Amino acid sequence: MIQVGLHLVVELYGCNPKYISKLSNYKEKIERVVKKSGVTVLKSYHHQFNPHGVTSIFLLAESHFTVHTWPEYNYMAVDIFTCGSSEKAWEILKWLKREFKPLNIKVMDIMRGIPYEEIERTAIPIPKR
């Protein structure tokens, strides 16, 4: 497989609803996660839901990072995809844990890329291994 990136699908359980309900409490923490992880933000957008809950989308030079919160369940759903080095994806996760202090975490890690049989089937030139 030609690996193009790492995709982390993350569930954070037992988050303090104070920090994931309102943008005013959440935004400083999520922006610190991005800054400390060392990713390059091209654009970001945050949306406050009524009565509570927040969604953030970060378009990264490395790919993307999204967060959706459900404070009524103390829950955050996170999607992290980084191209090239997988280290930055794990850094984002490390800082998420430090900032939001979930009681439990579930992580699914998916190596993204093109299987060699697909390259051969579609006649894409195979790079040197």
3-state SS, residue 75: strand
Catalytic residue among 47, 68, 85, 86: 68
SS3 of the chain: helix, strand, coil, percent, to 5: 35, 45, 25
Residue 63 known to be catalytic: yes
For the four alpha carbons of 83, 87, 90 and 96, in that order, the dihedral sign comes to: negative
Residue 68 known to be catalytic: yes
Residue 7 known to be catalytic: no
Catalytic residue among 7, 21, 37, 83: 83
Catalytic residue among 63, 64, 85, 86: 63
d(CA 56, CA 62): 16
Catalogue the active-site residues. 63, 68, 83
